[in-house]
Amino acid sequence: MTISITNEFYELMSKVNFNVYGILDAQNQIHTLGTDSKIIGRIFEMFTQPVLLKIAEKHNYILETPESQTLYPDFIMMKDKTSKDKIAIDVKTTYIDNDNSKIKFTLGSFGSYMRNNTKNIAYEYTDFSKHYVIGFIYKRNGSAQESYQYDYKFKDMVVFPYYDVEYFIQEKYKIAGDKPGSGNTENIGSFPTNNFADLKNGNGPFSILGQDIF
C-alpha cells in the first residue's frame, strides 16, 4: 500500500523560510542570484528535498534522485528498489506577474515513458503507483541584484529575488490539461487557471475523468 505524503508535506513545508541571499563562497562572500528562472527553480528543489527526506525516513522509505538529470522523476520514494509501489515526485516552478495572471506549468513528456515503459525514466513507469507534482508559484522581484557580491556581514543589503511564494502538492493527472504545455512539444500542460486553489485542490478535467483517461 502506497503512503500518502500530502498532509505531512504541508506540515513540514509550512516551517520553511524561502528567503535566500545567494551563494556563499569560501571567503564569506555572497554572490546574488538575480531572477533567472532556472536558478530559482533549482532553489525550490533544494528546499523540497529535506522535507521529502524527513517524510521518507518517518515511513522507513528510501528517497532517491536519478543518476541523470534528464530522467524522470526528480525524486523517488520507495520501500526498496524492487518495489512496484514507488512514488514519483517532480518539482515544478513558474512565476506570475500579478494575482490575476494565468498560471502555467509544463508537467513532463507524454511521448516518452508514458508511451514506452522505460524511456527517459528511472526504473519502469509501471513500477510507480503515484505521480505527484510539487508546484511553486512566485513573483519575480525586479529590484533583485544579479551577480553582485557582498561580504556576509552586509547580507541585509541583498534584495531577495522573489516574493509571494505559494506551493502545492497534487497528483499529476489532477492538474493536467488536455493540451500540450508549449507549442509543438510533447510536454503535458497544466490546465489553464488563474486561481491557485484550483491547482492545490486538483480541479483539472482528469480529476473527474480519472487517471486511466489521462
What is the CB-side half-sphere exposure of residue 84 using CA atoms within 13 A? 1
pLDDT, tens digit, for every residue of 166-193? 999 999 999 999 877 666 667 898 999 9
Whether the per-residue pLDDT at 62 is higher than 90: the answer is yes
Catalytic residue among 90, 172, 174, 198: 90
pLDDT at position 13 is 96
pLDDT at position 130 is 95
Catalytic residue among 36, 38, 74, 153: 74
pLDDT, tens digit, for every residue of 188-212? 989 999 999 999 999 999 999 988 8
User: Is 74 labeled as catalytic in the residue annotation?
Assistant: yes
Those residues with Cβ within 8 angstroms of residue 194's Cβ, 6 or more apart along the chain or in another chain: 99, 100, 101, 102, 103
Amino acid at 133: V
Residues 43-48 have a mean pLDDT of 96
CA–CA distance, 2 with 80 (Å, rounded to integer): 13
User: Is 90 labeled as catalytic in the residue annotation?
Assistant: yes
pLDDT at position 183 is 64
User: Is 92 labeled as catalytic in the residue annotation?
Assistant: yes
Catalytic residue among 86, 92, 172, 174: 92
Residues 47-55 have a mean pLDDT of 97
Q: Are 67 and 83 in contact (CB under 8 A)?
A: no
pLDDT at position 139 is 96
Average per-residue pLDDT in the chain?
92
pLDDT at position 187 is 84
The CATH number of 6-100+126-173 is: 3.40.600.10
Q: Are 83 and 130 in contact (CB under 8 A)?
A: no
Strands 128-140 and 86-95: parallel
Whether the per-residue pLDDT at 3 is higher than 80: the answer is no
Block residue for cell numbers 475523468:
209
Whether the per-residue pLDDT at 149 is higher than 90: the answer is yes
pLDDT at position 199 is 96
pTM above 0.95, yes or no: no
pLDDT at position 109 is 83
